[in-house]
Amino acid sequence: MKNENLIIYLDYQDILTFCSGHLLYKEAYAYEWENENVIHIHLSKKCHQFGQMYPALFAIDNKKTMQDKQFRFHVFIEKILPEPSVSVFVDGVQSDFYYIPDRNSLFSRNKGLLEKDVLKSKKAMIIGLGSFGAQIAVELAKAGVGKFSLFDFDRIELHNLARHIATVNDLGRLKTDVVEDAILGKNPYALVDKFPIDIDKNEELLSSEVGKSDIVICATDNNSSRLNLSKELVKKNKVGIFGRAVTRAAGGDVFRYRPGGACYACLIGHGIISKEEISSVQAGRLSGAIPAYTSDEDAQAVVQVGLAADISPICNMMIKLALLELSKGTESGIQTLEDDLVYDCYIWANRREYNFKNWHVFYQSGADRTIMRWYGVKVHKLDGCPVCSTDIILDTGQKGEYHDPENSDYEGLALV
Amino acid sequence: MKLLRIFLRRFIMIDYKRYKLEKEVFQKEKLPEAAYRFIGIGTDNPYLRIAARTNSGKIYTLHIELSSFPESIPEVYVTKMLKDSNGKNMSGASAQMHTLTSSGGWTRICHYGYNSWTPMVSLFKIYVKCRLWLEAYEAHLKTGNTIDTYLVHQS
């Protein structure tokens, strides 16, 4: 008799791992989603499972081990070439099962659009694992990117939950651990390096990881880290994607650094970007965006975060640019985007507020600037840029020009 | 462990090239060489000491932290605890007086807004802004008006 009402998943990689050894049996882990009749059985303990965990057993010999009532879940494996023969028993009754797909079938739906063999060898470095960085990491994992280097010293707090991929079960955990789990949940074959540290205090590590990466995503919340990273990108000739939201996520911008082009310091120097979103009092105080003389009460008022739906389009552009850069030189289905996404900086408005208050209403806006459309900006290298220019020109205060980021509405910019 | 220690070394922000440029600006602006001194360049604790003479003839010494300069706004201190017109220590962060929380018994000047900062800003410009703050401070001592009366806030 077969147990047909259970949905059981086995990790094929586990079967191969067990077969490659000389063990007769090995204790494993079964996760049962109670009342859902769903069971996943793994050789190794999974840290991000929500089902009830039970001991399981992988074994060669089914006669002796079946008598061991300690295990409800038995996986019997016969080492037959070319493929092992596997059977699963739950409470002594044989059950049908599926395999968690191997690497090749995991991203089969991307076929024709993304080159999975290329992406699996690419390494994405993501700095800042807040609502931007975490979402981007998961999307890149879904696309088949195979290696990650994650940087964030922060932990998940209650105020993160509204926009972050983390759940209530992740409260208090390091963001690097949470995002690693999320990546492995999408691509169990991904290789993830975690660095729960402040990049501003670790030049050598930052430099070495930038050097090893194929793309660098900067999703931090302050210019100091963006500028530090910018220096390393210039030094190591690497592509970097920077993204952020402005106050209350009324909009945002995405900047792409390409070797030889304008860097993030050029962008700041041109006065193109506007006042950014402060996502928490702690982050604002740390960066200096909330001055020390601001009372806690006033500081709370300064923290005006936007909706998850408002930051998603900005993340989406960062992901597209990252995939485009990672797929360069391959016959990918997204190649045509190379002719479209030619700008250095992209600006997006969610609502006609703050810096976008003078923009046209969406209805019948024609060619006027309005919400929910991307505008591209060519950013020229800044004369005398202290990061990417050989001849630095310092601001000594002689010019008398002052750009007020609070009131910038991108006036005078050639937004295309 | 050795590898970890190497990894965890702090950034040494101000490099030699930038240091030379900053000195060139001081020379161009005719700041007497005896009025300033860069200390600890090439270490993880670089700073600048610079004397500022106000219109009244008083001399103050400014201490400018350079450990995260120019990527971040450098901390600027007057190397003593200044008193306000009521004789109280200017040790706290105050929007009206353009000060931040003091450290080591020194009054800290709020001289630049976070959103306005760029790594192009020279130490000379910071010095000029702090000179203006000192003028405003002396005006405050004379009139009792807050420094806010004379200086605007920067975003």
CB contact under 8 A, A405 and B12: no
- pTM (2 d.p.): 0.84
Q: Hey, is the C-beta of B129 within 8 angstroms of any chain A C-beta? A: yes
Provide CB contacts within 8 A for A192, sequence distance 6+.
Answer: A147, A148, A149, A150, A180, A183, A184
Share of chain A above pLDDT 70, in %: 91
- DSSP-derived 3-state class of residue B106: strand
Q: What sections of A246-295 are H helices per DSSP? A: 264-269, 281-287
Give pLDDT tens digits for A363-382. Answer: 988 888 999 999 999 999 99
Give pLDDT tens digits for A182-205. Answer: 999 898 889 999 999 999 888 899
Provide CB contacts within 8 A for B30, sequence distance 6+.
Answer: none
Longest Cα separation, chain A: 88
Name the DSSP class of A246.
B
Roughly what angle, to the nearest 10 degrees, separates helices A131-143 and A175-186? 20
Q: CA A95 to CA A78: how far, in whole Å?
A: 16
Q: Given the structure tokens 């993830």, which residue do they identify?
A: A192
Checking if the pLDDT of A329 tops 60, the result is yes
How far is C-alpha A404 from the geometric centre of its chain's CA atoms? 32
B84 is written with which tokens?
A: 């306000």
Q: CA A137 to CA A360: how far, in whole Å?
A: 34
Roughly what angle, to the nearest 10 degrees, separates helices A131-143 and A308-327? 40
Q: Hey, is the C-beta of B86 within 8 angstroms of any chain A C-beta? A: no
Q: CA A167 to CA B99: how far, in whole Å?
A: 40
Question: Which CATH code fits A2-100?
Answer: 3.40.140.10
**DSSP sequence for A221-277:** SSHHHHHHHHHHHHHHT--EEEEEEBGGGSEEEEEEE-TTS--HHHHHHTT---PBP
On chain B, the residues whose CB falls within 8 A of the CB of A401 are none
CATH topology of domain B2-149: Ubiquitin Conjugating Enzyme (3.10.110)
> What is the least distance, in Å, from the CA of A269 to any CA of chain B?
6
Give pLDDT tens digits for A49-89. Answer: 667 888 999 998 766 666 667 888 999 998 887 888 999 99
On chain A, the residues whose CB falls within 8 A of the CB of B72 are 200, 223-224, 288
Ranges A115-119, A407-411, B54-58, most confident: B54-58
Look up the CATH superfamily of A112-377.
NAD(P)-binding Rossmann-like Domain (3.40.50.720)
Q: CA A397 to CA A127: how far, in whole Å?
A: 33
CB contact under 8 A, A397 and B71: no
Written as one letter, the residue type at A73 is F
Q: Are A129 and A199 in contact (CB under 8 A)?
A: no
CB contact under 8 A, B114 and A294: no
Give pLDDT tens digits for A265-301. Answer: 999 888 776 677 777 777 777 777 777 777 777 777 6
What values do phi and psi take at A40, rounded to 5?
Answer: -115, 130
Domain boundaries, chain A: 2-100, 112-377
* pLDDT band of A403, cuts 50, 70, 90: low
CB contact under 8 A, B114 and A404: no
Q: CA A234 to CA B130: how far, in whole Å?
A: 33
**Nearest 5°: CA angle at A47, between A44 and A53?**
70
Q: State the DSSP H helix or E strand holding residue A185, giving kind and residue range, or none if neither.
A: helix A175-186
In this prediction, residue A279 carries a pLDDT of 72
Residues of A with CB under 8 A from a CB of B: 197, 200-205, 223-224, 227-228, 231, 265, 268-269, 275-276, 287-289, 291-294, 382, 384-387, 392-397, 402-406
Q: What is the pLDDT along chain B (155 residues), one digit of tens a residue?
A: 444 444 444 444 578 889 999 999 999 999 999 999 999 988 888 999 999 999 999 999 999 999 999 999 999 999 999 999 999 999 989 989 999 999 999 999 999 988 889 999 999 999 999 999 999 999 999 999 999 999 988 77
On chain A, the residues whose CB falls within 8 A of the CB of B116 are 402-405
Q: Which of B18, B71, B110 sits opposite A228 (nearest CB)?
A: B71
Q: CA A288 to CA A92: how far, in whole Å?
A: 63
On chain A, the residues whose CB falls within 8 A of the CB of B92 are 293
Most B CBs within 10 Å, among A195, A275, A355, A392, to test the B interface: A392
On chain A, the residues whose CB falls within 8 A of the CB of B115 are 275-276, 289, 405-406
Q: Hey, is the C-beta of B132 within 8 angstroms of any chain A C-beta? A: no
As to burial, measured by CB atoms within 10 angstroms (0-12 exposed, 13-18 middle, 19+ buried), residue A264 is buried
Q: Which of B21, B71, B125 sits opposite A227 (nearest CB)?
A: B71
Checking if the pLDDT of A400 tops 70, the result is no
A238 is written with which tokens?
A: 């690497």
Checking if the pLDDT of A109 tops 90, the result is no
In this prediction, residue B3 carries a pLDDT of 45
In this prediction, residue A406 carries a pLDDT of 55
Q: Given the structure tokens 């800042």, which residue do they identify?
A: A128
> What is the least distance, in Å, from the CA of B22 to any CA of chain A?
8
> What is the least distance, in Å, from the CA of B155 to any CA of chain A?
7
On chain A, the residues whose CB falls within 8 A of the CB of B120 are 265, 269, 382, 384-386, 393-395
> What is the least distance, in Å, from the CA of A270 to any CA of chain B?
10
How far is C-alpha A187 from the geometric centre of its chain's CA atoms? 13
Radius of gyration over every alpha carbon of chain B, rounded to an integer in angstroms: 17
How many contacts, defined by CB atoms under 8 Å, are there between A and B? 111
Residue of B nearest to A291 (CA): B100
